[in-house]
Amino acid sequence: MDPPIVTLVTGANSGLGYAIACRVILEFFDQCTSNHRLVVCLTTRSHEKARTAIANLTTFLTSRLSKDAFHRVQLDHIIIDLSSMVSVMSAATELQNRYPRIHHVFCNAAVIPFTRIDWLKAIRQFATGFVDAMTVPRYKVQNIGWLTDSHQALLRPQSPSTKKSTLSELGAAFTANVFGHYFLLHEIMQTLHSPMSSQDEPSRIIWIGSIESDPLTFNIEDVQGIKSTKPYESSKTLTDILVLGSQLPETEKYFRSYTTPPQDRAPNFQLQKTKPPVFLIAHPGIISTEIVALPWWQSRAKIIGFLFCKFLGSPWHCIDPFIGANAPVWLALSPHLEMVKGFKWGSGCNWKNGEFVLETRVDADVTSHASRLWGQMEDLRILWKSLLVPQP
């Protein structure tokens, strides 16, 4: 029997992550002409969330898949808190022990450090454009300087020249949304390489971006967004640059070092006999989820506002997370990898045409930031590896 196709979805217990898990299974079996098996591994932050997600997903699949396809799906789970590097390390070990090869990873989990709405800004933005205010809300007030807090114990006594606080600082939104994923992928890199000789395509890493990316929120001097008033948008802009910059000649040396499996996990790995994974980026348009916790009346008003935007002709107000999952899943399963890479793709829909995938403009200056950003990400990864696995 052929080995199964393995798909990993982070933050799969709710919203877009759960919808991606549902949709990738349905579309995989729609397109599948052989008798391949599919393993979908959901990452969550607790066993209870995983159990609930798997129970709901099983019920969903029972009504949507044929008996034969249903028996060819395996639902697994793994606990990861992406803002804890200790948790990321132990999940990486577990993943590498479990799966010799992982074909798709959806880097979906994310937080918005939302604190409140700035009503004055909201009124101003709504006055200048309703759809714009419901698409790119600039009135979300976020927690500035929010750091991850679980790493102090890791820090060994420092030399007088190294400040403890500098090493322990990891911006919380940056870590959950980007760096936790980035570090995890490197640690499981061996499983993401495909054999050079076979027909096997490279593994696909689908990063979830956002239509809210905005170069004005991103500062190359503060990639972790610690000083930013918009750490969420900063992390999503960074994701655009990281992914689209991964294929540029100027980042080649960083991408090669990043995609070389770590020595301690794969001592006999032969790089020249394999193909590294490909970074891709998609966003779900605008969907209704709990990523920003609002009082019930604001949640209702938000959905009515989304429907109104759709009525006014906005292609981005998908509302239903399952529709939002269209572009990410399409990137994972598209037979035209060469055509889809290098662009940002979004899920869209309208009353007339239903669902579609749209190329999305990226405003960040990818070419001028990519090399420096990749260099900084690699430095940070190497620093954290040395903290987590002290060298003798």
Residues forming the site for ligand NAP (CB under 6 A): 11, 13-17, 45, 49, 80-83, 108-111, 176, 208, 210, 283-284, 286-287, 289-291
Nearest to 384 by CA among 74, 167, 202: 167
Measured distance CA(105)–CA(21) in Å, rounded: 11
Q: Shortest distance, CB of residue 148 to ligand NAP, whole angstroms?
A: 8
The bridge status of strand 194-195 relative to strand 274-275 is antiparallel
| Least separation in angstroms between CB 289 and ligand NAP | 3
Which CB sits closer to ligand NAP, 100 or 145? 145
Yes or no: say if 291 and 112 are a contact pair by the CB < 8 Å rule: yes
Which residue's CB comes closest to ligand NAP?
15
> Angle, nearest 10°, between helix axes 180-187 and 85-98?
30
Least distance (Å) from ligand NAP to the CB of residue 313?
18
CB closer to ligand NAP, 25 vs 184:
184
**Beta strands per DSSP E along the chain:** 5-9, 38-44, 73-79, 104-107, 114-117, 140-142, 194-195, 204-208, 274-275, 278-283, 286-287, 317-319, 344-350, 354-360
- Judged by CB, which is closer to ligand NAP: 32, or 79? 79
Q: Please, which residue, 17 or 261, has the CB nearer to ligand NAP? A: 17
DSSP 261: P
Nearest approach, Cβ of residue 338 and ligand NAP (Å):
26
The least distance separating ligand NAP from the CB of residue 227, rounded to whole angstroms, comes to: 21
* Nearest to ligand NAP of 288, 334 (CB atom): 288
> Judged by CB, which is closer to ligand NAP: 111, or 380?
111
Q: Which is nearer to ligand NAP, 45 or 138 (CB)?
A: 45
Dig out the tokens for 372 from the structure: 């420096």
Cα gap 388→374, rounded to integer Å: 21
CA dist., res. 51 & res. 146, Å (int): 30
CB of 339 to ligand NAP, least distance (A): 23
Among 207, 249, 246, 257, smallest CA distance to 342 is for 246
**Shortest spacing between CB 210 and ligand NAP, in angstroms:** 4
φ, ψ of residue 286 to 5 degrees: the values are -115, 125
